[in-house]
Structure 1
Amino acid sequence: MAAAPVVVEPPIPQAWGNLDIAAQIPEGAKQLTVTVFDPRQTLVKVVANERSPKPGSRTISWNFKTDDGVDAGTGHFMYRIFIDGQVTTGMAVRAARATPDNLGIQVRDLITRLASRAKRAHEDLVLPNERGEPVKLKSLFDSPLDLMASLVRGGWIIPGEPDRSMFLVAIIGTGPMQGVIGQSDIQLLSDWIAAGAHVPPATS
């Protein structure tokens, strides 16, 4: 018996600052409604609600804000396009609240801001450089981009997996850095890791 063909699911589109929803409006359409649901399947936004919408291709953009102006967070979001009773659904994943490049720049700046304090507390720890050679963590705080790359190379950060990244879970969450940095900075690090732990180029 021949093996069953392998079905490859297309990747779920990613979104960051905005979710762009494409719709094709037919001639004579009487009602267009576009709704978005959060990862818990709770309605978070009615993005469009139009009578007699203009026909043709449309891109309807949502900025991930609720009606109260609150950020809807991260995760998988489902949208539904209703046109005269016909429903089209789609999904996008928002791993973080900003693009990977932007998050990398923010993490670089965070390390620069904390460097003077951090260098006093990491005397004996080492991380691998680009050649796999051990380098004192203390010295890497003067080169934030090298530190970011070394944390990934050393396995302390697992791109896309903040809950499995020991730097975030064991060092900051329950270890020696617990309570040292604020919740907003922890969220930034989590978002950066979730978005792939991208290290921006030195010219950024």
Structure 2
Amino acid sequence: MEDAVGSGAGSRIGIGSQSGLGSEPESEPGSAPRSEPTREGFGGAGTQTLVSTPANASPLAELPDCAYDNLLIIAVRDHPTKIEARLEREGHDTATVGVVPVVPAAGDYDGDLWTTDPVRPNDLTGLGMRFSDAVRHIESGTGWVLLDALGVLLVYSEESRVCRFFQTLANRVRAHGARGVYCIAPEAVSDGTYERFRSMCDAERDSACASTDST
């Protein structure tokens, strides 16, 4: 994403993408707005939130139920198979959730979630291109973007590169009018690094998870 904000060559969008994820009908004249000012404490449309998430908790558990109506997951931590299993267990519609897989083994996934082509975690430019492909299917005002483990990117790239990537990502999601949720384990990064990420977001919150990830 640092240098590439257009479509990524060779990316594929799978099930449910042609009409957009979870597309809603246009509001009738005089009807209520399509999105509330806030959603479960995450702020209004376009709000970018950094969430302190324990390493043993599921990032998906941070989201309110309404997020699953139109959700894009940048999956740095979890394989799409694991994400699909959790969604099905909790009764969410897999047709309204898309995944940008940033995990080495994601190329063998053949489940029901729509996905872009997988990308290596050290390829931030490629990741940005996959994101640009996928965000077109996220609705302005009602859509959500989740990055499940921001700190993992620091294992593969220098902090300065990850920060530039993250700033571009958050700005793109904000401009798109979607809510961004970025999970990070504070114990895995320095205080200075955490503060840099926090300063690029509009809000900060502690994890709502009390239970561990059992999937």
**Alignment TM-score > 0.5, same fold:** no
TM-score after normalising by structure 2: 0.23
TM-score after normalising by structure 1: 0.24
Structure with max Cα Rg: 1
Select the structure that is richer in strand: 1
Larger relative CO (CA 8 A, sep 6+): 1 or 2? 2
